[in-house]
Amino acid sequence: MAGPDYAGNGFVNLVASIVEARGGTPRHPPLVSLPVAELRTAKNIVFVIIDGLGDNYLRANGAGGPVARHRRGPISAVFPSTTATAITTSFTGATPLEHGLTGWFTYFSEAACVGAPLPFQRRGEKASLGVAPERIFVERSLFDGLAARSIVVSWRPIIDSAYNVHHSGIAERLAYDNLDGFLEQTVAAVKSGPEKKLVYAYWPDFDALSHQYGVGSAEVRAHFGALDAAFGELLSRLAGSDTLVVLTADHGFIDCPAEESVELPPALSALLRFPLCGERRIAFCHVHDPKSFIDKAASLLGHRADVVPSRALLDEGWFGTGRPHPRFAERIGDVALVMKGRGTVKDWVNGEPRHLHIGNHGGASDDEMNIPLVVAKT
């Protein structure tokens, strides 16, 4: 497994470059391939995040299109390579080690449950985590420390969520309903005033369709075609506005065949203190007896997963650098199941539909970890 890059060629470094260029104090080194001086000269920076668009996918499917023509190369995603972890980095500039959100599901002792931080719900329930968002989300929004006007453009169903409101900080928020609206609101944000601005524009549907149909599907390919055209239209409509458009993703994708998906064996489920946390590609296990669990998991899953103490991933730098979140150790549990090949692991709790995604992410494969750096001046 090749680990993530937090030293100068990763997503966290891209965020650091943008923060410094808009007058903030970056928490980590800037991105080597995008000098701060290049960003600083633009009146507007538009930071576009296409959820799930891996660099390998772009190179294989985007040749000749507007996005690929402005591609500078790959950068590294954070780990786990997943939305809850990476988008929190994009909103705070913090590494996963610092912000402490380590997957779609995380154990929150503050709420005495395993929960999903993005919808702010308890696992298997539609109920809220039941605590103030500030107890879960400890890092402040990076927009609060910038010397520029900030605008967040996001999908209407999530723009006023507890997660989004906290992480948007003092930034203005503009909602859209579809791809045309995404384009309209992003252009409107750029043209809304003469001052220096940072426009943060997030698009979720590439991820949603890749989960549902598989990233290799015709449905996703058609959607990417529409996105590619929309990017070209965005550049055209921003012509002459002194804007630098920086497009990337939070993670990439792989398709996982059913025969490589495993349900956590009952013999292992019985040893868990809480349901599995993290992702189907990297599961964090809170257990009563780590040695016993590791031995049994290696025997039952060794051909499907690397079974390692979670602390080993921490010590090897998988979650980045900085001051650890005060509850980081409990956020990653005792043992990690790092799935091999295209494998996934799943357990079930009451209230969850028995449905498995075709497309997945969270692991350490190149398809999941390599994300594009796309830079266009208008």
- In one-letter notation, the amino acid at residue 349 is V
Is the distance from CB of 129 to CB of 177 less than 8 angstroms? no
Residues 190 and 334 in one domain: no
Helix, strand, coil share (%) of the chain residues, nearest 5? 35, 25, 40
CATH number, domain with residue 148: 3.40.720.10
Helices (H), 148-249: 156-159, 162-168, 179-190, 205-213, 218-237
Domain that holds residue 25: 11-255+365-377
44-50/305-309 β-pairing: unpaired
pLDDT of residue 85: 98
pLDDT of residue 353: 83
pTM exceeds 0.95: yes
Mean pLDDT, 10 residues at a time, over the chain (378 residues)? Answer: 89 98 98 96 97 98 97 98 98 98 97 97 94 95 98 98 98 98 98 97 98 98 98 98 98 96 96 97 97 96 95 97 96 97 94 90 97 97
| Rounded CA separation 127/123 (Å) | 9
| Rounded CA separation 97/85 (Å) | 10
- In one-letter notation, the amino acid at residue 198 is L
Structure tokens at 359: 């497309």
For residue 336, report the phi and psi dihedrals to the nearest 5 degrees.
-110, 135
Is the distance from CB of 152 to CB of 116 less than 8 angstroms? no
Residues 191 and 298 in one domain: no
Residues 300 and 344 in one domain: yes
Residues 57 and 206 in one domain: yes
Residue 359 DSSP SS3: strand
Residues 232 and 297 in one domain: no
Alpha carbon 226 to chain centroid, angstroms? 22
Residues 264 and 132 in one domain: no
**Number of domains, the chain:** 2
Instruction: Give domain status of residue 5, yes or no.
Output: no
CATH number, domain with residue 349: 3.30.1360
pLDDT of residue 333: 97
Residues 199 and 264 in one domain: no
